[in-house]
Amino acid sequence: MAERDVHRQQQFSGVISSVRATVVDIHCPGSLPPLYSILKTEGIHATVIEIIDHLDEHLARGIALTTTAGLAKGDRVQGYGRPIEVPIGNQLLGRMFNVFGDVIDNGEQPDFKEFKSIHQHPLSLSERVVSEEIFLTGIKGIDLLVPIEKGGKTGLFGGAGVGKTVVITELIHNMVASHKGVSIFCGIGERCREGEELYREMGEADVLKNTVMVFGQMNESPGSRFRVGNTALTMAEFFRDVQGQDVLLLIDNIFRFIQAGMELSGLMGRLPSRLGYQPTMGTELAGLQERIASSRKAAITSIQAVYVPADDLTDPAAVHTFSHLSASIVLSRQMASQGFYPAIDPLQSRSMMLNPRIVGEKHYQVARQVRRTLSDYEDLKDIIAMLGLEELSQNDRRIVNRARRLERFLTQPFFTTEHFTGLDGRFVQLEDTINGCDKILNDAFYQIPESGLYMIGSIDEVKIDNNVT
């Protein structure tokens, strides 16, 4: 953690009385340091401790944001009553930072002039504005069925291995290049491999110059993973409030923020609530989410990946996250197992923006018909499995025909997976998506093999010569 040239009013010091993993109790003979302030041990590899509780008039409890290896009872700590303060300014662009605002991309540390506490209050209700503008992604299933609100919060839900990170990286590819504001990527509990690949790919795509990357890696302490989201939000708020620039905030993964809080809660001896989660989960998540808002100056649009334990959407982590979002994109393991990528579940995904007043009557009606057709097909699957397709009525057969073609048309080759699939990526305009689905619903491709609509862009690319069904 780099030293900050700050105004130092009062020095706080103490002695470590106990260490339990990353939870540290500190005896302070004088006055207690303020909550959220930082104390540090002496030496080159100092341990940074954030005060989170006052146990009595001389005992404070903190969480270590760096390793506690070598920390011992009796070690002295000191600080100046200041919270974590991260740099702000245009020099952030194109760089990668940790929770303390230190550069971690092997480049030179910029000479920042301004620093700001990572603990900020959310905008008041009177300062917030609500947008009715759609953020187009170029991904058919999202733009048609789950349109993203500019200035809103969108969640990308799914279990392990269904493609959350792949969809996030595709959204970065499609949206960052056309986004006129600033993009901030926040990796909470990211694998170092994913962070390095993303940094390199964004550099190759020439979008890094308008992007800030903040990482609390998987091997770092739970305290660091718990606070790195606040660091990213503080930087986003600078661009929104001071520079008046729209911000695209991408977070991967919100569940690991909750998980870090759960680890800390257990170490502090708090009684767990349902399924082992911390009793303060709702408050902690709200503290992070409520800072993501749009003001009269500019908007912060957030897209967040959310791991769903055991694919259970009733898990408390998923339920608490749902309540903060304007759009929820649910990825289905069943669809992924059939090779339908992106594996967006059209029946469980939702968006508040899918309203005829916002998206237009045609878009709304086509999206409703697509959902209804896929829902009817889902109801018919049991009958087909037991009796066969031949036992269905002519009308039901047409529903099955449309639904199977819609499922395949809503797949799409991604730019970020070209080296895996060998297929060129596609950015599909919303109008092309609506027209393609409308034609399928009107049986324009009734006689065309359904595989001809698989992994294409617009409907004009239908592979009529493909004989595999």
Question: Which residues are the active-site residues?
Answer: 164, 190-191
Is the previous residue joined to 449 through a cis bond, with omega within 30 degrees of 0? no
Tokens of 82: 């200041």
Residues 217 and 187 sit within 8 Å (Cβ to Cβ): yes
In DSSP terms, 35 is beta-bridged to none
User: Within 10 A of 384 (CB to CB), how many other CB atoms are there?
Assistant: 16
Torsion of CA 323, 327, 330, 331, to 10 degrees: -140
d(CA 305, CA 308): 10
Tokens of 16: 């470590």
Residue 46's nearest CA partner among 18, 91, 16, 17 is 16
Give residues with Cβ within 8 angstroms of 368, minimum separation 6.
none
Tokens of 354: 């899918």
d(CA 35, CA 33): 7
Buried b / exposed e over 101-118, threshold 16 CB at 10 Å, is: bebbeeeeeeeeeebbeb
Residue 231's nearest CA partner among 121, 123, 63, 118 is 118
Residue 327: φ, ψ to 5°:
-145, 140
